[in-house]
Each structure stands twice: as C-alpha cells, then as structure tokens.
C-alpha cells in the first residue's frame, strides 16, 4: 500500500549504515514533515558531494579540490607528516586544533589475511615522493591492532635509511578513563610508556 515514492525513498535510506526498515520509515516520515527547500538542499548536497569530493592528490585525504586545504595551506608545518589510516582519522586530528603539520592517508592497513599488501594501500607515494629534505618527522598514527602495528612496522623499516625521525602516538590511559575498567593490554602499554617525573 506504500506509494511507490515512499518505498523508493525508504530503500535509498536503507543503503546507509545501521539503517533498517524501521529507521528508514522514520526518516521517510521526517522527510514528509520537512520543508521542501530543506529536502531539495539534501538532494543537492548528495549530488554535489558525489560530484566534487575526491581524494587530495598529495595526501589522499577527502577534499573538494585537487589539493586539500591542509596541503594547500601556507601556514602548516611542512616538516611533519602524520600517517593515518583514513580521512576520518585526519579529521579527528584536525578537530583538536592542535596539530599543525601535514597528513598522509593510507586508505587502509596491511593485512595479509585479507590479501591487502603494502602496494595495495597508499604507502609507496609516502616513501618515494613525500619524504623530501623539508620533512623532519613522520608520526605513525595508526590504531594499535595487529594490522596497524604491522603497517607501522613496515613504514618504519622503509624509512630507516631516510634522514627523518619516526615516531608513533603514545599509548596509555585515555583521559578521564577509570583504571579499573581498562583492558590489561592498555595498562601494560601505559606502564611501558610511563613518563619519569623526576
């Protein structure tokens, strides 16, 4: 009995992650209540996003230009490159407002079990193109999973004979975390990476 347009829109919403029948219906009813210009804006945003968003030709981050706003900025510190798994991570760093260096987005992690080899992700351009004399440090900012550690190690090895410092993010307690609820691995890492105060 649903009108065709209702069913079509519901099916489209179900393409979104975590959206099942019930949520999709709720969204369709919401669209029914929404002002026409807002719905048109949503449709327009979808098309513009899909037409204009690409990956930055230097760092691989999502961007509406050939060069992203970080790579094209004149005020960023070009001596530091932060290596991240995906654009999400880069945006998370940006949201802190405290990191002023550049990024390099791998677009994945090495994972032999999934047949993802170093050449399948954006590593080569980091090693061969981006480590210029200007670059002093590469920060490896990958998740501490098996794949993340493997990828970090691979990049670290590849950078050994380059004149560049390699660092990784600190492991330890998340701010505001309650120690009694932390997993043992995090506690071990926090002890290993402890800072001497005196």
Residues that bind a copy of itself (CB under 8 A): 1-6, 8-9, 11-13, 15-18, 23, 25-32, 34, 36, 38-50, 52-53, 62-65, 68-70, 87-88, 90-91, 94
Mapped onto helix, strand or coil, the DSSP state of residue 37 is: helix
Structure tokens at 5: 């347009």
Looking at beta carbons only, is 90 or 135 nearer to a copy of itself? 90
CB 164 to a copy of itself: min, Å: 24
CB 13 to a copy of itself: min, Å: 8
Looking at beta carbons only, is 70 or 83 nearer to a copy of itself? 70
Which own/partner contact pairs does 153-158 have at CB distance under 8 Å and 24+ positions apart? 154/110, 154/118, 154/123, 155/83, 155/123, 155/126, 155/127, 158/123, 158/127
**Residue 42 exposed, middle or buried by CB count within 10 Å (0-12, 13-18, 19+):** exposed
Containing H/E element for 44?
helix 36-52
Place of tokens 């994945």: 108
Looking at beta carbons only, is 44 or 193 nearer to a copy of itself? 44
CB 51 to a copy of itself: min, Å: 8
CB 180 to a copy of itself: min, Å: 26
Looking at beta carbons only, is 13 or 152 nearer to a copy of itself? 13
CB 59 to a copy of itself: min, Å: 11
User: Cα(60)–Cα(122) distance, rounded to whole angstroms?
Assistant: 8
């Amino acid at each position: 009995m649903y009108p065709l347009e209702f069913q079509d829109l519901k099916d489209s919403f179900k393409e979104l992650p975590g959206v099942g029948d019930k949520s999709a219906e709720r969204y369709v009813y919401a669209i029914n209540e929404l002002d026409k210009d807002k719905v048109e804006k949503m449709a327009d945003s979808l098309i513009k996003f899909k037409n204009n968003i690409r990956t930055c030709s230097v760092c691989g981050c999502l961007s509406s230009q050939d060069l992203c706003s970080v790579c094209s900025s004149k005020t960023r510190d070009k001596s530091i490159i932060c290596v991240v798994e995906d654009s999400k991570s880069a945006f998370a760093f940006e949201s802190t407002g405290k990191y002023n260096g550049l990024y390099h987005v791998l677009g994945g992690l090495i994972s032999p079990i999934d047949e993802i080899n170093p050449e399948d992700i954006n590593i080569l351009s980091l090693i061969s193109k981006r480590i210029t004399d200007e670059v002093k440090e590469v920060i490896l900012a990958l998740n501490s999973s098996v794949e993340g550690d493997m990828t970090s190690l691979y990049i670290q090895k590849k950078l050994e004979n380059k004149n560049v410092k390699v660092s990784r993010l600190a492991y330890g307690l998340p701010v505001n975390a309650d120690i009694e609820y932390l997993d043992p691995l995090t506690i071990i890492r926090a002890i290993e990476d402890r800072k001497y105060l005196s």
